[in-house]
Chain A
Amino acid sequence: MFRTIALMIMAVSAASAAIAEPDQTFGQWRASADATSVLAYTQNESGAQFGFGCSDGRCFYYLYTRAGCVVDRQYDLLLSSQTAGDAPQIHSAFPRAVCGAGEGDDADLRALYFDGQNMPALIAASVVAIAIPAEDSQFRVSKFSLEGASAAVTWARARYGQTPASGDAPQ
């Protein structure tokens, strides 16, 4: 299943045509679908992707990055976002992610997959920061826009035939 999504991520990353005409655009997020999978994602200035995907009956969030992780190893991530307004609120999540190999020619690309616990509140903000523990006791931190994220994820769920109540967690 992760390979299916990894191939799909690679398609939207590498094929500018796929990005130029996504199925839908929601703010800084885009959403695509094929016969068996859906993907909602955004890309930051460094080329890293943060997104949501469903395939083979399972849905999850992912981070596609060159930040480096060991394939098949699990990592504890920190996601933190802040709502705007007079009383800004910090939302955070600590998902355990699985590192998967990227697809294609770029051997440095990795995908970190994790479930969606606490994510609806977290992505209803303007920006998210994601920290990945690195081997040298440092953290690699990536930031992504969340403008359009909720709408894009809702679209992807609906397109996949999944309601929010059915949950995100991989089985």
Chain B
Amino acid sequence: MFGAITIMAMAAAGAAAAPANDGAERWRVSEPLAAYVENSSGEVLALDCIRASCRYLLALKGDCQEGTLFGTIVNSQAGETPATLKCHTNSKGNVLIVGDADVGRLMSGDHIAFAYPQTESLIAVARFSLAGASEAIATVVANAKQRDAAAATP
């Protein structure tokens, strides 16, 4: 559910800017200030710079209640770190905001994975390709800096 809703929200926000989906798990810039990757399970990892500061968002299988905090371990070839996932709900569905960790430092290598508590199997793992991540993230972050610079100009 999370995945479908988030993809829908991202598509609605910037479908025209997104390249055609060729089926590969690859990061895409969905609009000037957001990039995402969807894995084969329909889960989504996104970088959202639409707000004042950039943040990573996750859309996972399952449901959550507004404000609920989950713990997670983030792991990539660059290392691992514990982080928190905060459930945020809106009219388009639910997303988990990744906090309390420098996830950006782990965005190198082939894949990044999130292990989190889950009722069915006790632990679930969401794994995402990092193909194209550095370019997509650099583009979005540069756009965010341009926006901030323009906003600061009297």
Q: What residues of chain A lie closer than 8 Å to B125, measured between beta carbons?
A: 131, 138-139, 141
Q: A88 interface residue, CB < 8 Å from B? A: yes
In angstroms, Cα B124 to Cα A78, docked, is 11
Residue A112, interface by CB 8 Å: no
Give Cα distance in the complex from A34 to B67, angstroms.
48
Query: How far does the Cβ of A98 sit from chain B's closest Cβ, in whole Å?
Result: 14
Cα distance A80–B121 in the bound complex, in angstroms: 9
Partner of A128, one of B115, B122, B127: B122
In Å, the complex CA distance between A77 and B112 comes to 16
Residue B42 CB within 8 A of the other chain: no
Q: Is the interface of B mostly helix, strand, loop or mixed?
A: strand
Size of the chain B interface, CB-CB below 8 angstroms: 24
How many pairs, one residue from A and one from B, have CB atoms within 8 Å of each other in the complex? 71
What's the interface size class on A, roughly?
20 to 34
Contact at A78–B121, with CB atoms within 8 Å?
no
B55 at the interface (CB under 8 A from A): no
B residues near A70, Cβ cutoff 8 Å: none
CB of B73 within 8 A of chain A?
yes
Please name 20 further chain A to chain B contacts, defined as beta carbons within 8 Å, in addition to the given A127-B122, A133-B75, A137-B109, sorted by A numbering.
Answer: A76-B81, A78-B71, A78-B116, A80-B117, A80-B118, A81-B122, A82-B119, A90-B117, A90-B122, A92-B71, A94-B71, A129-B121, A131-B125, A133-B80, A133-B115, A136-B77, A137-B77, A137-B112, A138-B113, A139-B75
Name A's B-contacting residues (CB within 8 A). Answer: 75-78, 80-82, 88, 90, 92, 94, 127-131, 133-139, 141, 143
